[in-house]
Amino acid sequence: MPLDKLFSLGPGTSQSLHGRAVVQNYARFACRHVDLSPLPPGTILYPAAKPVGSVRVVRLPNAGVLEIESLESVRLGWTLVRVDAADSCPAGWAGERVAPIPGTETTTTVRWTFK
């Protein structure tokens, strides 16, 4: 899996009030689907971890098993505000804020074996 596919935004919900919209969706991390075999020993990775906003520092070993607890998903709340439509923003919405919704994060154990 390409590294740019590690993070994806899933479907969500929205509500609009007085020129503002609050949109919620899940950010999902696909750390367990990454093929580390092309990477040399000593490569350093920074997988997302709990608490939300933190990372783990992981150095790939020469051999053995590497097991980590990694962030799997978190629900995000996006606040959008109305702006004048323009070529760069034809829908007329701009992002004002994005923040994780407390208590919505999930983690998974990721395990790789190196020979």
Give the up-direction half-sphere exposure of residue 114: CA atoms within 13 A in the CB hemisphere: 17
73 pLDDT higher than 70:
yes
Of 77, 73, 76, 68, the residue nearest 105 (C-alpha): 73
Residue 101 pLDDT > 80: yes
The whole-number pLDDT of residue 19 equals 80
**pLDDT value of position 6:** 39
pLDDT at 94: 85
DSSP 86: B
Q: What is the pLDDT of residue 4?
A: 36
- Residue 104 token pair: 């919505």
- Ranking 38-42, 56-60, 77-81 by mean pLDDT, the lowest is 77-81
Cα separation, 81 vs 3, whole angstroms? 31
User: CA distances (Å), 78 to each of 35, 40, 56, 65, 100, in order?
Assistant: 31, 38, 25, 38, 9
